[in-house]
Amino acid sequence: MAISLTTGSSNSGSNDWSDVYNNDNDLVTEFGYRDSTYKTIQTAGAMADASASSGTFFLVNSSTTGSLESGFAMSGGIHTSESGSDPYGFYFDDADYSVTSMTTKLRVRGQVLNNGTAWSTVTATFGLYPVTVSGAAGDLTLTLGTVVTGSTVAIANPSANTVNQGNSGDFAVPADGYYGLGVVLSAAITANAASLLSAHLQVRHV
């Protein structure tokens, strides 16, 4: 990828050492911007209401209210999970994001957008999960495993009519494999609340 450097004020063309110094600063700025800034590489979310009880759920990019799912199954060509919600997973390969001489870091950012009813003693904890695959003849079942260490971010008791967000901070890249973004609800969502739960997986290099 080409890098654009300033050439007017930064490079006078009259002082070799000064020009080298200024060009070096331009390179540091350019690479620092590209390598230290977080970039979103995966996104998933789901609407949820009081029909969503406590438990661990996939975030599935669904518009169906109360569509949080604890697992997914397909049997006889029919998706047996709630209509409108599909498993949202992805294969993560660290080689796809590696930068020479730099360390790849990930983080999860979670959001809860809430309507006019505040949550009461409910915490949503977002995280990155490995996904296991199983199923007998004609069946496919996807299940979230144990959350990746360091990937969780908790949002407790969102108030009425608010946008709530947080992030996990950096965590180490996990082993290559199939993953999904998920959320743990500590209790059933409060009656009359309607919320959009979403998460982003982000990457940077240090």
Q: What is the pLDDT of residue 63?
A: 45
Q: What is the pLDDT of residue 75?
A: 53
Lookup: tokens for 164: 């709530």
Query: Taking the domains of the chain in order of start, what are their residue ranges?
Result: 1-37, 38-205
d(CA 11, CA 203): 33
Q: What is the pLDDT of residue 57?
A: 86
Q: What is the pLDDT of residue 45?
A: 86
pTM of the predicted structure, to 2 decimals: 0.78
Q: What is the pLDDT of residue 83?
A: 45
Nearest to 90 by CA among 64, 58, 112, 136: 58
Q: Which helix (H) or strand (E) holds 30?
A: helix 16-36
Print pLDDT tens along the chain (206 aa): 555 555 555 555 555 555 555 565 555 555 555 556 899 999 988 888 888 888 888 887 554 444 566 666 655 555 555 444 566 789 999 999 998 889 999 999 999 999 999 999 999 999 999 998 887 777 778 888 999 999 999 999 999 999 999 999 999 999 999 999 999 999 999 999 999 999 999 999 98
